[in-house]
Amino acid sequence: MTASPVDLTADRLACKVCKGSGLSHHEAFSFEGKNYPARDYPCNACQGFGWFTPPSFDDILKRIVATKGKNKGTVRASFTSPTIVRDPSEEQRREQINAKRAYYVWRLARFHGGKDTTMPSVAMLFSRGDPYIQLLDALADGVARKAFGTSMGAAAMWGKALLGSNYTGPDPIDLMLR
């Protein structure tokens, strides 16, 4: 399955979760004798906006590159997950989207570069619904290649884990690159 290209001329694209409504609908239900009515909540993927603006690569790179200490100028070794704010202002909601995007790129770059080999599940949840995910993936791959010399580091390690250290067939990385 090939993903459709992102429209780079649009100033914003609809959220893939709420389809542009900005709402997440929860059906009515009963639990332990208590009835809960149907409710609409702000979509947590797009923070209730219903759409996403194109990512700022400069902003993302500023967030994921260390600015002090011995690692200055390199991809950060650690990164705090975006903080959830109760009853956020519009500015805080926009910041939340930008912080999630930066975390996604940072986490996938370290995964693809072979620095972190556990699956980046939380990063995937943070990017849910973002129509610009292909651009974020491409940025993460580029950061991994530049910072760690490869964007296939985790694939090599997972290939060994899944195929076993005694595997004598073709190199899984070579198979993927064909």
d(CA 174, CA 166): 17
Least confident of 81-90, 96-105, 135-144: 81-90
What residue has token string 């903080």?
83
Whether residues 110 and 141 fall in one domain: yes
Whether residues 134 and 112 fall in one domain: yes
Whether residues 35 and 112 fall in one domain: no
Whether residues 133 and 82 fall in one domain: yes
Whether residues 105 and 149 fall in one domain: yes
Whether residues 40 and 99 fall in one domain: no
Whether residues 24 and 105 fall in one domain: no
Confidence grade of residue 7 (pLDDT, cut at 50, 70, 90): low
Please state the pTM of the whole predicted model.
0.81
**Residue 143 is part of which domain span?**
54-177
Whether residues 45 and 116 fall in one domain: no
Dump pLDDT digits (tens) for 17-70: 999 999 999 999 999 999 999 999 999 999 999 999 999 999 999 999 998 888
